Amino acid sequence: MGNVNEWAGNLTLGWMVDQRDLQIQILTRMRQFGMQAVLPGFAGHVPEALKSHYPNANITQLSSWNMTVYIHQSPNTFMSIQQDLYGTDHFYNFDPFNELEPPSSDPAYLKNCSQSMFNNLIAVDPQGIWVLQGWLFVYDTEFWQPPQIEAFLSGVPIGKMIVLDLWADVDAGWKITNYFYGHNWIWCMLHNFGGRSGMYGKIPFISTNPIEARSLSPNMVGTGLTPEAIEQNVIVYDLMSEMAWRSTPPDLKEWVDQYVTRRYGKYIEVLADTWYELVGTVFNCSIVTKGPVTILVSVRPQLNFTTSLYYDPIVISKAWSAFLSIDDLHVVNTSTFSFDLTEITTQALSNLFMTTELQMNAAFLNDSYEEFSLLSDALLSIIQDINTIVSTQEMLLVGNWTARARALTPANETTELYEMNARNQITLWGPPDSFDHDYAYKLWGGLTEDFYLARWTLFSQSIFKTTNQ
């Protein structure tokens, strides 16, 4: 993304060789299936040390996040070597100003930037097509006003760029960019930032809006999924995956009935009715949110949370009861039913945690320390219950996550660096003073007990210590 100069390295040559070999295997298989790969382009971000090696180069210091540097005229070496190694399908992704403010808002400057980058691309591959994430336009609307957007996009000929409208399910770029000023674009569902745990979706919206957008914009050329992680809220991805083939919206009641049959291998009316109610409530979010409502279990403890649900929590309780009532052994013994029951149970317990935390906060403010103590114990018990529940699912075990990281370690290297990165990603998300800690929190077995429970326990103990002084 160009936002970070370095973090938690250094990656060794052995790791790079392994990644190169894996990439070759992936590309080979993709092309065997008739797929066209999008390879990295060069966006202009370079190490700061390059200034000393090329003192006459036009290099600019950018601001966010960690002051990366940006070179205005870039050599073609990277693209040429990549093409020799991986071949090409003529699609390249590069994002020069992703969550980075350009040094100038002058439309002439912005047009020159995109024009220069595109010329660099076609100097190596005359058939090259630039695949741009449209996130920058919705992320910083103060900077990217219509004149700036139009200028930047006009630096590339129509037909030679595809814009990914990255968060069209919530904050659509196509609505504020005049349909990306004629460039081909793809309606994308981001859904979940960080792959955070919790039930959430916009199923009624995604069942209609891509079709509506296509009717308004002939240069919309497809749909896509751009989540930062999956393995949660399966029903949302199931529907979105088929929207590219639909010219009319599905009847959601009929679709849910078919989904239940596919999901469990058998139609069960109670489950179909339950899922349909969830589709109209929990999976019908109408507020702007970067995924599920924050699970308070998984964030740094405090007493003044303002988090609230956008649906009536009784819906989750009813769904939980409905799932527990199923006695059809064929259905109950499927891994999909087990996973869905786990997800619903976890959400029910998380909602209970939110309610209990509010009560605990009220007890503290009212100096009712005995009640505070009882509610604190209840909170910790809920966390333990969540850990027990999620530990029934193999894909929700933190030990598998760290084991996969260790397995990536090249021969003759130690595993500490790789495991540290895996652990850091789901906890601090950077250094100890990270501004985005818990960005990718997960209610996983082991992590919930060893990290979240330990953290809430320390918090409760510190409150007790303070009130007893």
What's the rounded Cα separation, in Å, for the pair 291 and 192?
4
Q: What is the mean pLDDT of the chain?
A: 94
Q: Indicate whether 196 belongs to any domain.
A: no
Across the range 1-17, mean pLDDT stands at 83
Q: Looking at 141, 157, 173, which one is the last position of a domain?
A: 157
Provide the pLDDT confidence category of residue 68 given band limits of 50, 70 and 90: low
74 pLDDT higher than 80: no
Q: Give 6 or 427, the one with higher predicted confidence.
A: 427
Amino acid making up residue 27: L
67 pLDDT higher than 90: no
pLDDT for 356: 97
Provide the pLDDT confidence category of residue 75 given band limits of 50, 70 and 90: low
Cβ pair 225, 188 in contact under 8 A: yes
Across the range 35-41, mean pLDDT stands at 96
Q: Give 23 or 64, the one with higher predicted confidence.
A: 23
Phi, psi of 220 (to 5 degrees): -75, 120
Torsion of CA 36, 41, 43, 46, to 10 degrees: 140
Question: Read out DSSP for 99-112?
Answer: T---S---HHHHHH
Q: Indicate whether 326 belongs to any domain.
A: yes
Lowest mean pLDDT among 19-33, 335-349, 389-403, 428-442: 428-442
Provide the pLDDT confidence category of residue 65 given band limits of 50, 70 and 90: low
Q: Indicate whether 247 belongs to any domain.
A: no
192 pLDDT higher than 60: yes
Q: Indicate whether 289 belongs to any domain.
A: no
What's the rounded Cα separation, in Å, for the pair 11 and 418?
9
Token output for 262: 């596919």
Across the range 401-415, mean pLDDT stands at 89
pLDDT for 10: 85
pTM confidence score: 0.94
Q: Indicate whether 384 belongs to any domain.
A: yes
Q: Indicate whether 222 belongs to any domain.
A: no
pLDDT for 248: 97
Q: Indicate whether 191 belongs to any domain.
A: no
pLDDT for 218: 96
Query: DSSP code of 431?
Result: S
Q: Indicate whether 219 belongs to any domain.
A: no
Across the range 449-467, mean pLDDT stands at 94
| C-beta neighbour count of 241 within 10 angstroms | 12
Distance from the Cα of residue 75 to its chain's centroid: 32
Q: Structural domain of residue 21, as residue ranges?
A: 1-157
64 pLDDT higher than 70: no
Distance from the Cα of residue 464 to its chain's centroid: 37
Q: Looking at 137, 157, 177, which one is the last position of a domain?
A: 157
Beta-sheet strand order (sheet of 69-71) = 45-46, 69-71, 59-61
Distance from the Cα of residue 206 to its chain's centroid: 17
Cβ pair 227, 263 in contact under 8 A: no
127 pLDDT higher than 90: yes
pLDDT for 413: 84
pLDDT for 132: 98
CATH number for the domain spanning 99: value is 3.20.20.80
Task: Kindly state the percentage of the chain with pLDDT values over 90.
Answer: 83
Task: Kindly state the percentage of the chain with pLDDT values over 70.
Answer: 97
Provide the pLDDT confidence category of residue 280 given band limits of 50, 70 and 90: very high
Count of domains forming the chain: 2
CATH number for the domain spanning 419: value is 1.20.120.670
Cβ pair 108, 155 in contact under 8 A: no
Provide the pLDDT confidence category of residue 101 given band limits of 50, 70 and 90: very high
46 pLDDT higher than 70: yes
73 pLDDT higher than 70: no
Q: Looking at 107, 139, 157, which one is the last position of a domain?
A: 157
